[in-house]
């Protein structure tokens, strides 16, 4: 595997089929053709099985480019480890309590359970502001109904994750809180003027950038006031000029899953992969199938071989991803015999149960985000 191919691999996190490591994925990890693996509900049966899976994934990677295993473990609707670790309430309940110290305790407890399983990257916290009760995909996943509350509480949760050695990822930039469509199913459009977007939607992301959050995830949403032609994930104006330039973000820009219909129905995976990196993303999520994962990697390699400017982007993004991995201090999974004492502890269950229900707005019928 060439050095350039390995660099391009650092720009990809992929999903897998089943509860054990497929041999073809093991080979791609060993050759650094992927930099991370994401876990979803179909990959999860029991605590011991998850620990064994994570260990096998991480041990397949070379020492110089370790693998980062990630998961969506927010609490509430989006909780891949439901029934395996502590079941946390929706973050609107946690943030609505108005106690940042207790929110940080939640983040740390959740992070400690991820660390026990060897999972080092949580796609959380949600930085969207819950301004639309009819939103079909965010709702009570948000920490607050004002930008100030959303920022304060989400950053407290993130600091808890970091105290547990887990790296976080704020989402969904530049704001998914007032959409009326689910980007898993179609392309949402947010029609607010730029002044409103800066005052409400962008404010928590600006706070996260200033605080040094390691990663931010893009939204597959069109914002005509910011870019009338391209959704945020593919917009140089939004990811480059706004996020990097105006907000000063220096961490890893992560695409939302490139299999979501908002973008997958409009662009082939090869165009998506190259276009996202050109726009300013650093790391791409491609859940499935294997053919799309491989096609994305090959498209990145071809573009980097053909164009010096694109190769420079690949090198820049790979360096950010390597720094993100270095920031993660999660060890290998704990032995199976220890997991019952580390997951769903009495203290964690008591903390989870101490929050009253706050607000509504979660989808009546869970979208694919919950799977």
DSSP letters spanning 219-277: ---BBTTTBSSS-GGG-HIIIIIIIIIIS---SEEEEEETTSHHHHTTS-HHHHHHHHH
The residue from 122, 227, 256, 282 that is catalytic is 256
Exposure of 358 in the CB half-sphere (CA atoms within 13 A): 20
The residue from 184, 220, 297, 348 that is catalytic is 184
pLDDT on residue 310: 98
- Residue whose structure tokens are 């309430």: 89
The answer to whether 69 touches 46, Cβ cutoff 8 Å, is no
pLDDT on residue 186: 85
pLDDT in tens, 166-184: 999 999 999 999 888 777 8
Is 368 domain-assigned?
A: no
Domain that holds residue 138: 3-357
Tokens of 333: 């999974």
pLDDT on residue 43: 98
pLDDT in tens, 100-116: 999 999 999 999 999 99
pLDDT of 203 strictly over 70: yes
pLDDT on residue 363: 47
Is 366 domain-assigned?
A: no
pLDDT on residue 182: 77
Mean pLDDT over 146-168 rounds to: 98
The answer to whether 60 touches 54, Cβ cutoff 8 Å, is no
**Over pLDDT 70: what percentage of the chain?**
96
Mean pLDDT over 32-36 rounds to: 98
| 256 is a catalytic site residue | yes
pTM of the predicted structure, to 2 decimals: 0.95
Is 362 domain-assigned?
A: no
CA gap 352, 91 in Å, rounded: 11
pLDDT in tens, 311-325: 999 999 999 999 999
Mean pLDDT over 181-208 rounds to: 92
Is 363 domain-assigned?
A: no
Is 364 domain-assigned?
A: no
CATH classification of the domain holding 190: 3.20.20.300
Tokens of 266: 């409009």
Q: How many domains does the chain have?
A: 1
pLDDT of 136 strictly over 90: no
pLDDT on residue 367: 56
Mean pLDDT over 211-235 rounds to: 97
pLDDT in tens, 257-301: 999 888 989 999 999 999 999 999 999 999 999 999 999 999 999
DSSP letter at 294?
A: H
pLDDT on residue 305: 98
| 176 is a catalytic site residue | no
pLDDT in tens, 52-83: 999 999 999 999 999 999 999 999 999 999 99
pLDDT in tens, 354-363: 998 755 555 4
pLDDT of 5 strictly over 80: yes
Average pLDDT over the chain reads 95
Mean pLDDT over 107-133 rounds to: 97
pLDDT of 364 strictly over 50: no
Is 369 domain-assigned?
A: no
pLDDT on residue 368: 61
Is 169 domain-assigned?
A: yes
DSSP letters spanning 77-137: TEETTBTTB--PPPHHHHHHT--HHHHHHHHHHHHHHHHHTT--EE---B------TT-SS
Is 180 domain-assigned?
A: yes
């Amino acid at each position: 595997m060439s050095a350039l191919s390995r660099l391009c691999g650092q720009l990809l996190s992929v999903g897998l089929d089943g509860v054990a490591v497929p041999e073809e994925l093991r080979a791609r990890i060993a050759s650094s053709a992927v930099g991370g693996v994401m876990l979803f509900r179909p990959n999860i049966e029991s605590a011991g099985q998850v620990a064994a899976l994570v260990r096998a994934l991480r041990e397949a990677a070379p020492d110089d480019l370790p693998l980062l295993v990630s998961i969506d473990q927010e609490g509430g609707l989006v909780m891949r480890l439901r029934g395996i670790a502590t079941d946390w309430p929706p973050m609107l309940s946690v943030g609505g309590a108005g106690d940042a110290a207790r929110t940080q305790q939640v983040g740390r407890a959740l992070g400690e359970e991820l660390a026990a399983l060897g999972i080092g990257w949580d796609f959380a916290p949600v930085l969207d502001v819950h301004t639309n009760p009819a939103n079909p995909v965010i709702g009570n996943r948000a920490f607050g109904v004002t930008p100030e509350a959303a920022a304060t509480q989400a950053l407290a949760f993130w600091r808890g994750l970091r105290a547990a050695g887990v790296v976080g990822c704020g989402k969904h930039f530049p704001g998914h809180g007032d959409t009326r469509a689910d980007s898993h199913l179609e392309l949402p459009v947010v029609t607010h003027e730029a002044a409103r977007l800066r005052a409400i939607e962008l404010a928590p992301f600006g706070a996260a950038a200033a605080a040094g959050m390691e990663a931010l995830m893009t939204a597959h949403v069109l914002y005509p006031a910011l870019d009338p032609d391209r959704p945020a994930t593919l917009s140089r104006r939004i990811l480059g000029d706004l996020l990097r330039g105006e907000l000063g973000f220096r961490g890893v820009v992560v695409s939302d899953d490139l299999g979501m219909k908002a973008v997958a129905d409009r662009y082939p995976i090869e165009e998506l992969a190259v276009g996202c990196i050109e726009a300013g993303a650093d790391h791409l999520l491609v859940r499935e199938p294997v053919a799309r994962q491989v096609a994305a990697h090959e498209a990145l390699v071809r573009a980097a071989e053909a164009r010096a400017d694109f190769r420079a982007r690949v090198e820049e993004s790979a360096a950010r991803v390597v720094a993100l991995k270095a920031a993660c201090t999660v060890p290998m999974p704990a032995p199976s015999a220890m997991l019952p004492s580390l997951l769903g502890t009495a203290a964690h269950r008591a903390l989870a149960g101490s929050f009253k229900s706050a607000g509504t707005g979660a989808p009546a019928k869970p979208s694919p985000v919950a799977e």
